[in-house]
Amino acid sequence: MTGTGAHRTPDTDGAEHVRREDGGGDVRGGAGASGGSGDPGGPPEPGGSPTSAAAPAAAGVVAEVADVVALGESMVTFLPTRPGRLADVPSFERAVGGAESNVACMLAAAGHTVRWVSRVGADGFGDHLLDTIAAHGVDVTAVPRDARRPTGVYFRTAGERGTAAHEVAYYRAGSAASAMSSRTVDATAVRSTRILHLTGITAALSAPCLELLRDLTRPRPGRPLVSFDVNHRPELWREGDGARVLLELARAADIVFVGADEAGAAWGLHGSRAVAEALPQPRTVVVKLGRGGAIAFDRHPGTAADADGTATAEATAETTPERPPHVRVVAAAGAGDAFAAGFLSAALRGLPPRQRLRHGHLWAAAALTAPGDLAAPPARDRADRLAALDDTAWGTLRLGPGWTHDPGPQEEARTP
């Protein structure tokens, strides 16, 4: 499950940690703190590893620098075998669900080096999570097993999220992942990465989880590039301050993903430019517009001037809203995570903003045309070819089930 060179050691809080003893070179810093270049391929900033309350790595343990580290809870999800209310569905199929692990699995399947950081129970569901996520090529050696807290599970209906037909029943209170904190998370494993991907879901799990996210997003030398998907889930917030907390965390990130609908519901902001103006600190703000596609606001330092000609620190370059291809939807779950993964994959490759948006749409189409929360991403050469289509061809592109692995003429016949 955890690969060669790993073994489990007990932790003082009842958990056991998977420790790597691979040796290897020095741990390198990330892409920089908030306000830096925003280039996931850039060199580490001066100052070395930051000082933090986060738990240090064990002596002699060196974490390899990953392309992406995704931190957050994953749960065993039970999907209905047929449509209907939870009260009426007779049976369910087991799967894995978690925004951060979904992103991790898709990026690893596309060839990126990815580490997932979380906590799971010392139970069969924890075994299933680790086995399944590791099978996608994700490094799970920084995931402790908690002997006192269970792995979270949830049940959901087949209806699309946000509709009256959608029901979800979470059994995650007191879960192993809710015990994540700056004390229990391996700081070296988290920060040894080009991009650290977080979501607002983790902040809602517990007070220690929220403090952990605040610690990880705090500007400091050597901080990796932080990607933050707002993922506003009102039902997870016991207190009424969820919207304020999510805005605070988003402003501390380098790359932000937020839906126009959730920005309206959480922050009362309407229109993509209003969202971007409310988030002046991040290097990149991606506003998802539903069927209208997505728009990215990129800030380039040292290129703006006030009306009187005085130079300002940075300017905002707005990309053209990029509409998604036409998709025959099988299941809507996981599309937002897939979009974020596709965008980050393109960012890691140094592609321009418009290509990042198109890759996000293509990866989302992969999720939309497959059952469950997790789908295989399209092959890189195919995604590159489709993302390079001219506007007319892109506008007529149609994708249906099987398009990511079927080399046949499905999308060719529908693409001029």
Residues with catalytic roles: 337
**Other C-beta atoms lying within 10 Å of the C-beta of residue 274:** 16
3-state secondary structure of 88: coil
Residue 316 is encoded by which pair of tokens?
Answer: 């905002």
Residues 317 and 298 sit within 8 Å (Cβ to Cβ): yes
- 213 CB-side CA count, 13 A: 33
3-state secondary structure of 145: strand
Residues 186 and 158 sit within 8 Å (Cβ to Cβ): no
Q: Which amino acid makes up residue 6?
A: A
The DSSP letter of residue 286 is E
Torsion of CA 403, 407, 410, 415, to 10 degrees: 100
d(Cα 119, Cα 122) in Å, to the nearest integer? 10
Q: E strand or H helix at 25, and its extent?
A: none
d(Cα 320, Cα 264) in Å, to the nearest integer? 21
Q: Which amino acid makes up residue 118?
A: S
The DSSP letter of residue 95 is E
